[in-house]
Amino acid sequence: MTPVKSKLGLSRAKIDKARELAAAVTAPVQQFIDRHTTVTIERATLRLLGADGANSDGVPVPNLIAQQCAEKLSGGASLYYVNALVKLGKTPAELNKAVAGGLDLSQIELTDRKAIQKKADELIKGLDGRIAGNVTHRNAKLRQYKDKVKSPLIYVIVATGNIYEDVKQAQAAALQGADIIAVIRTTAQSLLDYVPYGATTEGFGGTYATQENFRIMRAALDEVVDKEGRYIRLVNYCSGLCMPEIAAMGAMERLDMMLNDSMYGILFRDINMYRTFTDQYFSRMINTAADIIINTGEDNYLTTSDAVEKANTVLASQLINEQFAFKAGMPARLMGLGHAFEINPELKNGFLYEYAQALMAREIFPEHPLKYMPPTKFMTGDVFKGYAMNTLFNFVSKATGQGIHLLGMLTEAIHTPYLQDRHLAIENALYVHNAMEDFAGEIEFRKGGIMQKRAQLVLDETIELLGEVKRHGLFTAIETGMFAEIKRPRDGGKGLDGVYEKSPEYWNPAEAYLKRKLKIGK
């Protein structure tokens, strides 16, 4: 990691200490992860091997196969899928249709394991070619239009519920200057233990994440790319009970970023911690192989905790997310660690604290494309004050070299933004960022001043917190509410029944491929 001179006077030794503690915190959790699989990891593997479609009741084929395998999942579901391809001499499309029609793969006698492995190698070769092709295409467009790349990248959201309406809004936002389009998922999709099939036109507060919806939106944004001379990135939410499956779909359909936190689902969706930690590892391997930037969810902590008193929990979580990502083979350049501009605007010198905390994140994570979130908690419906708050947020983002800048809307807390609200947000950000292009290189901070003291205090408190988490263990830390002031029992939450200890015969050709590709365990 490239060291940078600290304008905040942060101690390099203390930063290294914080990272050492975070590594120690995640190590025993990784030991659990390595010994287990989950129902959605097995379904994700099936998808990567070609399983797709749904039966007449809308149950996805990967779910049907996982249900057929039941307790055999501890040995890996892909064995039965690949075996059926070999034994029946079918293509994946033909086999998927048969499964949707009622064929039970678990009842087909297993053939020669060498034949199964040979077929799996063939499928993996095709998968690798598809993913590599997506990466090559993205990189070629980024090189072609490198002169149009802005910093930070401007990130906006669409969320109509109807993928075809989302397309119209996404294209309009891209034409107005957005660099990143995020399609918010329909409310509570993270709690569904299946991924709906096909294009969808109904959703509440967002649009269903499906592979077909991913394909439709990617194609729509590609229409804008050459017209604008900028590569437009697409984002969705790789979280919830189907985290690895959504990662698999995103890798295949050339998404560019994924919301992919290690603890978000535990804290804010009450998904079992064993399930989430195991799923995030597999999903992050997929995202890394596909060169997809992940975005973590530390901004959410500040919706339930005070942004001044609990700033150390944000930094601690960033460090923990970083270590889990490293363990999944992910380089720093793909880790969009999250934080937010959420200090009470009535607090004296609150702007200096916001500035200090944002710059602290940049100095501690110099190679990471940090994702900076706008004010939401203290937006009241006063559009004029909201616009002023967003302007200050835009200033701090540019002044501290953030990588991914999620725009604030003047109508936050009133309604889902109109097209014109999004246009005003983009216009504000572009003006502020352009007006202060070289500001960061011109400014220094008073030694021992408010900003230096603030950042140094947060780092000290983070080291203290991580030390406490290490003593108790991360599972206990979550149980006792050390993060976001939310308590979750280790044996509670949704999805625990979908966690399986791997048997000695466990076989997963996609996992083996990912670890080989990412040189994990070498």
Note the pLDDT tens digit of each residue in 232-253. Answer: 999 999 999 999 999 999 999 9
What are 257's strand-pairing partners? 235, 293
Least confidently predicted of 27-41, 241-255, 417-431: 417-431
How far is residue 484 from each of residues 298, 360, 467, 479, measured CA to CA in Å? 9, 20, 17, 12
Please tell me the predicted confidence (pLDDT) of residue 380.
92
Least confidently predicted of 75-89, 415-429, 449-463: 415-429
Determine the length of the chain: 522
Chain-centroid distance of CA 280 in Å reads 9
Q: Is 70 exposed, middle or buried (0-12, 13-18, 19+ CB in 10 A)?
A: exposed
Residue 205: which region, alpha, beta or left (left: phi > 0; alpha: psi -120 to 50)?
Answer: left
> What is the distance between the alpha carbons of residues 384 and 485, in angstroms, rounded to a whole number?
32
What average pLDDT does this structure show over 303-331? 97
> Which amino acid, 427?
E
One of 119, 310, 327, 371 is an active-site residue; which one?
371
> What is the distance between the alpha carbons of residues 392 and 400, in angstroms, rounded to a whole number?
12
Residue-by-residue DSSP string for 107-174:
GSPP--HHHHHHHHHHHHHHHHHHHHHHHHHHHHHHHHTGGG--SSEEEEEE--S-HHHHHHHHHHHH
> What is the distance between the alpha carbons of residues 490 and 26, in angstroms, rounded to a whole number?
16
* 15 Cβ neighbours under 8 A, 6+ residues apart: 364, 459
What b/e string do you get for 458-483 counting C-beta neighbours within 10 Å, with b at 16 or more? bbebbbebbeebbeeebbebbbeebb
Please tell me the predicted confidence (pLDDT) of residue 103.
98
Please tell me the predicted confidence (pLDDT) of residue 1.
46
Helix (H, G, I), strand (E, B) or coil at 188: coil
Q: Using CA atoms in the order 272, 303, 337, 386, what is the torsion angle rounded to 10 degrees?
A: 150
One of 179, 291, 299, 421 is an active-site residue; which one?
299
Residue-by-residue DSSP string for 386-442:
HHHHHHHHHHHHHHTT-SEEEPP-TTTTTSSPPHHHHHHHHHHHHHHHHHTTTHHHH
Please tell me the predicted confidence (pLDDT) of residue 4.
60
Please tell me the predicted confidence (pLDDT) of residue 88.
97
Q: Using CA atoms in the order 118, 63, 52, 197, what is the torsion angle rounded to 10 degrees?
A: -170
Torsions phi, psi for 149 (to 5 deg): -75, 125
pLDDT tens digits for 449-496? 999 999 999 999 999 999 999 999 999 999 999 999 999 999 999 999
Confidence of residue 417 (pLDDT cuts 50, 70, 90): confident
Helix (H, G, I), strand (E, B) or coil at 259: strand
Tokens of 166: 């989302």
Confidence of residue 283 (pLDDT cuts 50, 70, 90): very high
Q: Is 371 a catalytic residue?
A: yes
In the predicted model, is pLDDT for residue 2 greater than 60? no
Q: Is 517 a catalytic residue?
A: no
In the predicted model, is pLDDT for residue 384 greater than 70? yes
Please tell me the predicted confidence (pLDDT) of residue 79.
98
Which pTM does this prediction carry?
0.97
What average pLDDT does this structure show over 39-46? 98
How far is residue 145 from each of residues 50, 178, 231, 264, measured CA to CA in Å? 33, 15, 7, 34
Please tell me the predicted confidence (pLDDT) of residue 478.
98
pLDDT tens digits for 111-125? 999 999 999 999 999
What are 153's strand-pairing partners? 404
Please tell me the predicted confidence (pLDDT) of residue 418.
84
Confidence of residue 412 (pLDDT cuts 50, 70, 90): confident
Beta strands in 177-312 (DSSP E): 180-183, 233-237, 257-259, 293-295
One of 208, 231, 237, 264 is an active-site residue; which one?
264
> What totals of helices (H) and strands (E) does the chain contain, helices first?
20, 11
Q: Is 291 a catalytic residue?
A: no
Please tell me the predicted confidence (pLDDT) of residue 250.
98
pLDDT tens digits for 168-205? 999 999 999 999 999 999 999 999 999 999 999 999 99
Residue-averaged pLDDT of the chain: 96
**Percentage with pLDDT > 70 across the chain:** 99
> What is the distance between the alpha carbons of residues 280 and 291, in angstroms, rounded to a whole number?
16
